[in-house]
Structure 1
Amino acid sequence: MVRFKNRWILVEFLPLPFPNQQSTTLNSKQIYAALKQSIIVNFGDAGWGAVGSSLNVKYFSPATNICIVRVARDPHRIAWGAVTYLSSIEGQKYIPNVVHVSGTIKHAQLAAIKHNREVVARYRARSNVGSNSYEEYLAKSTAEIESLQD
Structure 2
Amino acid sequence: MVRIKQRYLLFNILYPGSAAEAKKSLPTSLSFQAPTPDYLDAGRLVGHIRNHITLLFGDFGLGLSLSSLKIVYFSSATSTVILRVPRNHHRIVWAALTHVTELPSPRRGEPGKPCVIRVVRVSGTIRKAEEELIRRTRRDIVMAKLTDDGKGETWLAGLASRGADGEQLAANVNVNMKSIEDLSGDESDESD
TM-score range, shorter-chain basis?
Answer: 0.7 to 0.9
2:37 and 2:76 in contact (8 A); partners too: no
Q: Deviations over 1:44-99 (max 9, x none)?
A: 00000000121001111111101000011011110111111111111011111110
| Equivalent-residue separation in structure 2 for 1:67 and 1:81 (angstroms) | 16
RMSD in angstroms over aligned alpha carbons? Answer: 2.7
Residue matched to 2:37? 24
TM-score (norm 2): 0.63
Secondary structure, counterpart of 2:58 in structure 1: helix
Higher relative contact order (CA 8 A, sep 6+): 1
| Equivalent-residue separation in structure 2 for 1:55 and 1:72 (angstroms) | 7
Residue 127 in 1 paired to residue 148 in 2?
no
Identity %: 31
1:51 and 1:75 in contact (8 A); partners too: yes
| Equivalent-residue separation in structure 2 for 1:52 and 1:139 (angstroms) | 40
2:144 and 2:153 in contact (8 A); partners too: no
Residue matched to 1:3? 3
Which is greater in Rg? 2
Structure with the larger strand share:
1
Which amino acid is 1:112 matched to? L
Structure with the larger helix share:
2
| Equivalent-residue separation in structure 2 for 1:103 and 1:137 (angstroms) | 27
In structure 2, stretches of 5+ residues that fail to align are: 21-35, 105-111, 161-168, 176-192
| Equivalent-residue separation in structure 2 for 1:128 and 1:41 (angstroms) | 41
- Going from structure 1 to structure 2, the CA distance change for 1:106 and 1:128 (only over 3 Å counts) comes to closer
Residue 65 in 1 paired to residue 100 in 2?
no
- Going from structure 1 to structure 2, the CA distance change for 1:46 and 1:63 (only over 3 Å counts) comes to same
Residue matched to 1:97? 118
Q: Deviations over 1:26-53 (max 9, x none)?
A: 3212210110011000010000000012
Which amino acid is 2:3 matched to? R
1:116 and 1:138 in contact (8 A); partners too: no
